[in-house]
């Protein structure tokens, strides 16, 4: 335990030295500010690190992570990250990245009471309800779980598109695409769900905000 803690600090020193060896101005440049083109909304799962799996460097990805990569409209932390990313950093892409084998999605499939987190998981259960016709038809449990992960990402992409923050950016003709991905922890490969939004035209009428 103690060794692991010490090792982390040693690793940091090593990483600094290696980074400077490759690029003596690495930290100097980063200290000048950030202009990441991408906002990543992912799961807190330790196996799905945002930067590593897309080969991104420090300064390239603005990140928000929570259990099961949820976009919940009353979540001040998510909204603040989104507002800053869209309105200050002017990111060009937002990726919601779920992953197969997600513990949060798995918990939503079951009925076990866990604790406070039940109230977070409940939002994922809503996704099941919206897609229950399709999901209930899948008899293979693993396949149903995998598909649940995918439709959960799909709903979070939709939830992003519903926000006033995103719709205002589109109204102002800001270049901004929202994508849905699923990462496979078994082989490291990302599946693009190809549900990209770049305007609010495909949002059901009731969600389209009249911003003029
Ligand atoms: Co997860």
Residue 48: give its domain's CATH number.
3.40.1050.10
How many structural domains compose the chain?
Answer: 1
Which helix (H) or strand (E) element contains residue 182?
strand 177-183
Q: Is residue 179 part of a domain?
A: yes
Ligand 1: distance of its center to the CA of 200 in Å? 28
pLDDT value of position 2: 77
- 102 counts as catalytic: yes
In-domain check, residue 22: no
Report the separation in Å between the CA atom of 70 and the middle of ligand 1, taken as the mean of its atom positions: 10
Flag whether 9 is in a domain. Answer: no
Q: Of 97, 102, 123, 159, which is the active-site residue? A: 102
pLDDT at 1: 67
172 Cα–ligand 1 center, Å: 34
Q: Show the domain range for 124.
A: 34-207
Distance linking the first and last C-alpha atoms of the chain:
58
Catalytic residue among 99, 123, 146, 159: 99
C-alpha 123 to ligand 1 mean position (Å): 14
Q: Assess contact for 128 and 108: CB atoms under 8 A.
A: yes
**The pLDDT value given to residue 140:** 98
Domain presence at residue 11: no
23 is an active site residue: no
Low-confidence residues in the chain, pLDDT < 70: 1
Q: Is 28 a member of any domain?
A: no
Query: Which pLDDT does position 156 carry in this prediction?
Result: 98
- Return the structure tokens found at 12: 């940091």
For residue 155, the model assigns a pLDDT of 98
- The torsion angle over the Cα atoms of residues 190, 191, 194 and 200, rounded to 10 degrees, is -50
Residue 45 within any structural domain of the chain = yes
Q: Tell me how many degrees the CA angle 173-154-36 measures, rounded to the nearest 5.
A: 50
Residue 77 lies inside a defined structural domain of this protein: yes
Query: Tell me, what's the pLDDT at 101?
Result: 98
Is 195 among the domain residues? yes
Q: Would you call 97 a catalytic residue per the annotation? A: no
């Amino acid at each position: 335990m103690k060794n692991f803690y010490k090792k982390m600090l040693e690793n940091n020193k090593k990483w600094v030295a290696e980074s400077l060896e490759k690029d003596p101005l690495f930290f100097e440049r980063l200290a000048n500010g950030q202009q990441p083109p991408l906002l990543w909304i992912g799961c807190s799962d330790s196996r799905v690190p945002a930067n590593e799996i897309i080969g991104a460097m420090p300064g390239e990805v603005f990140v928000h992570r929570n259990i099961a990569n949820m976009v919940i409209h009353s979540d001040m932390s998510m909204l603040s990250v989104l507002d800053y990313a869209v309105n200050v950093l002017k990111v060009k892409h937002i990726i919601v990245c779920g992953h197969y084998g997600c513990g949060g999605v798995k918990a939503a499939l079951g009925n076990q009471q866990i604790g406070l987190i039940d109230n977070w998981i409940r939002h994922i259960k809503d996704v099941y309800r919206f897609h229950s016709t399709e999901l209930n038809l899948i008899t293979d449990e693993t396949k149903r779980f995998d598909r649940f992960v995918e439709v959960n990402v799909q709903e979070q992409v939709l939830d992003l598109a519903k926000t006033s923050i995103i719709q205002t950016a589109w109204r102002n003709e800001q270049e901004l695409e929202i994508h849905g991905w699923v990462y496979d922890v078994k082989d490291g490969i990302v599946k693009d769900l190809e549900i990209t939004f770049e305007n609010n035209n495909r949002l059901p009428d009731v969600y389209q905000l009249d911003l003029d």
